[in-house]
Structure 1
Amino acid sequence: MLRYLFALLLLSASATAQNVEFTKDRFGNDKEGLKNALKEIKIGNEWYEADPPRFEQALPHFLAAQELNPNNALLNFRIGHCYLGSAGLKAKSLPYLQKAYQLDPQVDSRVHYLLGRALHMNAKWSEAIAEYKAAQPPAGSKGASTLQNDINKKIAECQSGMALQKNATRAFIDNVGPNVNSSSADYGPVITADESVMLFTSRRPGSTGGEKDPDSGGYFEDIWQTTRNADGTWQPARNLGTTVNTQGHDAVVALAPDGQRLITYVEDGAGNLHESSLKGAEWAKPQELGRRINGGQSHEPSAAYTPNGKFLYFVSNGSPKSNRGGHDIWRIEIDGRSDAENLGSVINTPYNEDGVFLHPDGKTIYFSSEGHSSMGGYDIFKSELKNGQWSKPENLGWPINTPDDDVFFVLSASGRHGYYSSTREDDGLGSRDIYMITFLGPEKQPLLSGEGQLLASRAAPLRETLLAPPVAIASAQVTILKGTVTDAATKQPLEATIDLVDNTLAQTIASFQSNSQSGRYLVSLPSGTNYGIVVRKEGYLFHSENFDLPQGAAYSEVVKDIPLKKLDVGAKVVLNNIFFDFDKATLRKESTAELQRIVQLMGDSPTLRIEISGHTDNVGNAAYNKDLSQRRAKAVVDYLTGKGVAASRLTSAGYGDTQPVSSNSTKEGRQLNRRTEFKVLGK
């Protein structure tokens, strides 16, 4: 009986659904309306039939004609096809293609394939697979092999989507708000490691030159910047101005973790990468990166800095002999001479990769791919570098990934927040908006028994209101050190050099600059290294810090303001990277870099006279502590004289526990009191 009623409903629907042509006999009383509709269709067809088709330009003309006649099969088909070909609008194609098929099942030979695409874009996985199967070409027909391979891939994407949606990623996905997003397309966010600054690309009014792209009809891309407030909101975005933005397309693709270097994409011919540095509050004019990165006719749409700023990961379709597919991910030493290295088949597929981002931990890469286990278009994947090899890429899952393209994802150093652009009808402000993802971590049991977990939907943020409060996620293995560098006397900001030293290897592995206007600095310290941090500026005593971060050390953020002291008589600093064996005066090898820095300072200032002093906490016998501190200070002096520094310029002193800088009642205080100091006696 139910089957009979269903068949009857279908017959009734087909009886009432009639294809209505745009002819005088159908619209005789509305000649002007018919004339205008035919004019709109003619203009729309010119865009639609262009090579390549201009779907976004054709769409408004077809929609205008449909207002007069919503029941024309071919017009509905072309509207649906235009939506499928328009960025961020693909999901809107479904009702038009369904209606086109209902009005005329023979409307176009591609109707089953496009219906499959529309259902796919709306995450109707099983229905999409059925339409894809109905679209399979006859064996031996022209282009059958290519089309069949494409259909097979899309069926696999739907199967992947079904599996991923059943195990949705626990996350909040929230629009970052109207201070960042506009009624136009906003996308491609990049952030500093601490999320304090965001740059992004926008096609909003107010772009440099104020002109529109004749190919797409939207405003030319410009780069905009916003700063995060203490409460997590964002300040109103500002255009970076004509120094960075040109009359044409300018898009941001990478920001160094400290926010002092920027890579832009400029559409000059094939499309190349440029780099700019922050000078105070203003960005310098971007300079094209060399031909080792930008090939002659190749296309480089994406890049990412390593935490030390020495290497660059980038996407390119150059070098066909070593490419896995169209666009691959490569790695290169920025100031080196060697050619770029392809990341290989674990990361790169026969399809396109894009949107590369390296986390500040230095070992986790995020990228978008049309291959691997994509649920449609580009999906975002994650891979970790283990023992020199990249792990199998892991799909970030639903609802972060959708059937449409998901590209240009970045993650905060803490691993708690991700940022990307998406199209979501319920809270979107424009065709594409920037969203913040908050990862929730492992699932907790429901507070109310009998209520199932709410599934994520593409159109809405995942808000699991029936679940217990989210548990903490696994912490990223990186420490963020940040603060300001100032003159100790005047308190004015200083532009200083911050050297990052591997104490075990006694090598400087990276150098950064504090901002010349604000004095701000930020350094990413991946776990697994004993770091020496040295802040230096000509005419000042250097300042050193030590961070010994064992492998697997959890995420932390340390704020350290550094007042540099001028190289004047009486000035002194703690040598935080001088290390001794326990209860001995034997210098450890990790002290080498700091000791060599003193040797260099003495060579640069040939009249400088200094005192090296040793200090202890108050644990144990005072006389013993004084003797130990004296022997340790002398060990430093002996090293310096052994490197050619005249003994007459050096004095050693052991003060034991008589000059504490902190309370001896706490473990942290006693640690600060156990130190070696450097004091200027004469210039």
Structure 2
Amino acid sequence: MKNASTITAFIISFLVVGSLALVFLFMNRQEEEPGHTSPAATTEEPARQTVTPQPTVDPLTRDDIEKQTSTPETLVNLSSPQTLAQAIAKVIQDRDLNTLKALEVQQAVTEAQSRTIRELMEARHVRLSSPGITSIGANNQGTNPTARYTLNFSSGARGYLDMKRNDKQQWTLDTLTLPSKQDLAKDKAAPMVMNDPMGIVSSFMDAVAKADFRGARKFVDGSKVQDATVAGLCILFEEGTFRLRDDAPIKTAYEADTNAGFFVHLQDAQGRKAGNVGLTVAKTDGQWLIAEASLDSMLEAYTKRQGAGDDFFIPIVKNPQGGDSLALFFGFNEDALSKRSARQLQIVAEAIKMDGGKKLEISGHTDDVGSERYNQGLSERRAAAVKAQLIEFGVPAERIVTRGFGKSQPRRTYSTNANDEERDEARKENRRAEMYLDF
């Protein structure tokens, strides 16, 4: 009897525990089914979701960027040398790797040139000034024209881009010439001189444009080009506000192994054409020098710009003994120098002081108005005024010889039936003092 009660109690306990387990399972299923929410769920924080870790990606390296290929939209227009020069300047100034890649894809630069340009990009102190490039000149002779531009660095140093047009009519970088690393780092570096025909012409004209007689004289063969010609060119540039044409001012006329000819095209302050200078360079002992200079076109352009009035100015004239003389002009019955004449004489003084053995002959002249005696005295006073100014600029008095010729040696004459205007123009040109440096 006792065993029966024990069995009955076990069965009842089993049934109760099983019922509770069924109830627990049923409630959990309701919570998992959509649309059923446990009362406790509205107050308890939701369970955290498990996130599967993603593989890490390293940022793009410089090598990765350089491996990217250029798209057609980034290709450079190579139909002109200027666009190529501008693209190279942009690469250096803006550290523009995409444009450099475009130039590589188009084979506008070689691998070696690209490496050199990259070195400039990586140098933090290397910057370009404004403008970053300057057009120097072009040689359109032959089937593959060439063009030269400068890279103007902020240090004052200068590099050169020599471009050539290939058979596909595209411009490519032929030669890249850079200054030294020391010059790139300087505050004021002297521009590098290219010892080739166009380089010498360019450096010579740079000095002339600054009225720097000493600088210009270094590029001249003194046995073939007179100091008066160089000084007159400097004076013309300063007085006439001439400057080099913006686009390829230096044009090659011909080029051989030992000589070459160029036309240097000019413009005035308003950007109008203003004649040209003809220059011939010759090679002697490995050095290119200016061997001949023709200023006729420039002088003609300047003369046409002369206004009306009593003033007359043209700084360089032909000397009866041969070569060129510098000329100063005076007003009617005047023997005093103008401020313009004084500035002109500063350049003449530099020319004389550069050569310790050089002397200067000054001849004074007048127009034909007045007596012989009066004009003789006036011509002597004009020559003396020039001498006094040169002495003030540091030229020793013993190196200056003066003479007065009155009205006996006119540069310009007129016929007996000339009108008043023709007579006045001739007389203005005859009221002068001439300076002959080589005698």
Q: Confirm or deny a common fold (TM above 0.5).
A: no
Structure with higher Rg: it is: 2
Higher helix share: 2
Q: Tell me the TM-score normalized by structure 1.
A: 0.26
TM-score, length-scaled by structure 2: 0.38
